[in-house]
Chain A
Amino acid sequence: MNLILHAPILAIAIPLLGALATPLLSKLGKTIRNLWIILSLLFTEFLVLILTYDVISNGIRAYTLGAKFPTDTIPTANFIPVRIILGVDAFSVFMALTSVTIVLIASIYSLKFIKERTKSKYYTLLLLLTAAMVGLVFTGDLFSMFVFLELLSISSGVLVAFYFHKGEVVEAAFKYIVISAIGGLMVLLAIGLLYGHYDLLNIAALANTLTFSFSDKVALVLLISAFAMKCGAVPLHMWVPDAYGEAPASISAVLVVASQASLYALFRISFTLFSALPTIEIVAWSIIILGVLSMFIGVVMAILQSDIKRLMAYHAISQTGYMLLGIGVGLAVIGNTNALNSFGVTAMEGGIFHIINHAIYKGLLFLTAGAIIYRVGTKDLNKMSGLAHKMPFTTIFFLIGALAIAGLPPFNGFVSKLMIYESVFRFNPLLSIIAMLVSILTLASFVKVFYSAFMGPKSKEYNKIREVPKTMIIAMLVLALLTLLLGLFPNIVVDNIINPAAHALIDQLKYVGGIL
């Protein structure tokens, strides 16, 4: 069987099979279940890697479900695509690569973090979440995007409510699921509006035939707001500290990449469908304003917190602002070829590179917070002090994560922030100055956490804590090494993966021509 030809649908089907077989296999014993989960995630990662190599060298890959050959996208009787088509281009496969990598590392971390009697349910939900994320970024028509979005919200909602014997966790999960439900219904309303006008659901076919009437603008506004709410842009951000703060620590790391999947949907809609809109500058400036507000308010509220996971959740909001700013600047100059070539492509590359960097260092920070909570038992920063004496590895990994998020060389945060600062400065200097100020405040808040939790004399209550188990250290070590490698050798990723991804977003005609 030609593996590359069927790789898009296998990358969605294998986690789904893994999720549904896990409760059955757990009856056979612990080791078989753990082995099955790690193997299915490794196989998905392998499929995404070979798909990356293929898409970067050969261009976009389309897969039609239910046709005789997977590449027949248009049936011979009609002239419009009627089946469900998976369209994998460079940006989709980049998002799938970050998602599956972070889920793999989080599941290795959870082998010791989650208690034994709830592990089957946890891993079932985690594999469903992986299938939903990969499906969201690989799909080529709007309604499958809605179905995978709802699967993502429900499975991540149940995972947020995992420790349901505490009251605050259930409250946070309720807020998260109400927000996701309303966002999903607004997305369906917008899809209905577009369908009623054009009788098409496929993204490539819609991009060809879109005339920008008033109902299309209403659909655009609904889609942008709903997806911005799902990724945590200010002023729609208030569910983020509740949900990220009360979830188990490995799930907070996975929720970061789940929010970035909605960021993918936002950019797919603005660039591929609506980039020929005459008033695209208004849309681009609203994305830029959302980004700047997110950066600033995120970090200002983060310094105030005294709960370690809520603080990191506010920082997640702030870093999402960087991505919105970078790619918003690219959207604003998309009509102007001169500006696009001189700084627009670099701004988009910076924003897209920041997606993978943020997933890596924010995942590392959440996993270290989980390690602290696993041993100490409390989340409150006021009660901890002097942990560096007993947990040296956790201290070093936290330090690497904190320096990376603040944007200090040689870690990877510095590289993407440098690209965003320099290109946004040529667009509008004020935005770049606000971004640099936010970076300084980020460093300040992480110095606060490092000083109060790790430095200082040993506290008397926590005399008996030891270092965390080895699988958790291995997971954090992999992320820390990735941080260092991506900062020291950024060219391997930027020239080979990020640059095709940025051009795949800008070139609407290449997407349409590759699928139809």
Chain B
Amino acid sequence: MINYFPFLAVLILIIMGLSAIIFKKNLIKIIIGISIIGSSVNLFLISLGYRSTGVAPIFTNAPKLEMVLPTPQALTLTNIVIDLALIAFMLSLVALVYKHYKSLDIRDRRLKG
């Protein structure tokens, strides 16, 4: 049962991130919500590859034990870089929105209908 704890944490983090995006009215808090969901997906990918008696997946001087899976680690690194670019872009857009609208509240939007 203790093996399923990371996946439970992933589920709780996704629910927290989605509720931050759905219920919060400040633009910065929406971006924090997206960052939380990004971290939870990274946690999910890493914990897919975990083996409880595993060592690092490096072949040089490896002990004769089972290795953890290396492919999800590659996927996670790519995802970290992509999330970095997305959040940097979103933060620069929020800075421009503040310059034009003078407020960070999402209820002051002008495009509707």
Contact = CB atoms under 8 A, between A and B. Distances in A.
Q: Do chains A and B touch in the complex (CB under 8 A)?
A: yes
Which of the listed residues A147, A166, A245 has the most CB atoms from chain B within 10 Å of its own CB?
A: A147
Given A192-B48, A196-B48, A304-B113, A174 B94 contact: yes
Contacts of B86: 150, 153-154, 177, 181, 184
Contacts of A173: 93
A167 B110 CA distance: 9
B109 interface: yes
A143 interface: yes
A181 B34 contact: yes
A170 interface: yes
B93 A174 contact: yes
B37 A182 contact: yes
A316 B14 CA distance: 32
Interface stretch (A156-164, A377-385, A452-460): A156-164
B90 A181 contact: yes
Nearest to B88: A154
B45 A164 contact: no
A49 interface: no
B109 A171 contact: yes
B8 interface: no
A225 to B, nearest CB: 13
B26 interface: no
B55 interface: no
Contacts of A304: 113
A192 B41 contact: yes
Contact of A172 (B14, B82, B111, B113): B111
Contacts of A147: 78, 82
A174 B44 contact: no
A153 B96 CA distance: 19
Given A147-B78, A185-B38, A195-B72, A157 B45 contact: no
A177 B109 CA distance: 16
A192 B71 CA distance: 11
Given A170-B100, A188-B79, A177 B89 contact: yes
A168 interface: yes
Contacts, number: 87
A388 interface: no
B96 A164 contact: yes
Contacts of A182: 21, 34, 37
Contact of A188 (B41, B71, B93, B100): B41
A192 B97 contact: no
B111 A177 contact: no
Interface string B21-65: 100000100100010011001001100100000000000000000
A262 B5 CA distance: 34
Contacts of B96: 161, 164, 170
A441 interface: no
B38 to A, nearest CB: 6
B109 to A, nearest CB: 6
A174 B45 contact: no
Interface string A130-173: 00000000000001000100100110011001001011101111
B58 to A, nearest CB: 18
A242 interface: yes
A189 B79 CA distance: 11
Given A167-B101, A170-B100, A195 B90 contact: no
A167 B100 contact: yes
B111 A171 contact: yes
Interface string A170-213: 11111001100110110011011001100101000000000000
A178 B48 contact: no
A171 B97 contact: yes
Interface in B62-104: 69, 71-72, 75, 78-79, 82-83, 85-86, 89-90, 93-94, 96-97, 100-101
A183 to B, nearest CB: 11
Contacts of B38: 185
A195 B71 contact: yes
Interface in A206-248: 241-242, 245-246
Nearest to A305: B113
Which of the listed residues A173, A178, A188 has the most CB atoms from chain B within 10 Å of its own CB?
A: A188
Contacts of B78: 143, 147
Contacts of A189: 14, 41, 44
A168 B110 contact: yes
Nearest to B48: A196
A150 B82 contact: yes
A7 B1 CA distance: 51
A178 to B, nearest CB: 6
B89 A185 contact: no
Given A185-B41, A192-B45, A242 B90 contact: no
A178 B34 contact: yes
A37 to B, nearest CB: 24
Given A143-B78, A158-B89, 19 more contacts: A168-B111, A171-B97, A171-B101, A171-B109, A171-B111, A172-B111, A174-B97, A177-B90, A181-B86, A182-B21, A182-B34, A184-B82, A188-B75, A192-B48, A195-B71, A195-B72, A195-B75, A242-B111, A301-B113
15 contacts: A161-B93, A167-B110, A168-B111, A171-B97, A171-B109, A172-B111, A181-B83, A181-B90, A182-B37, A185-B37, A189-B44, A196-B48, A201-B71, A241-B111, A242-B111
Which 3 residue pairs spanning A and B have beta carbons closest together? A167-B100, A196-B48, A170-B96
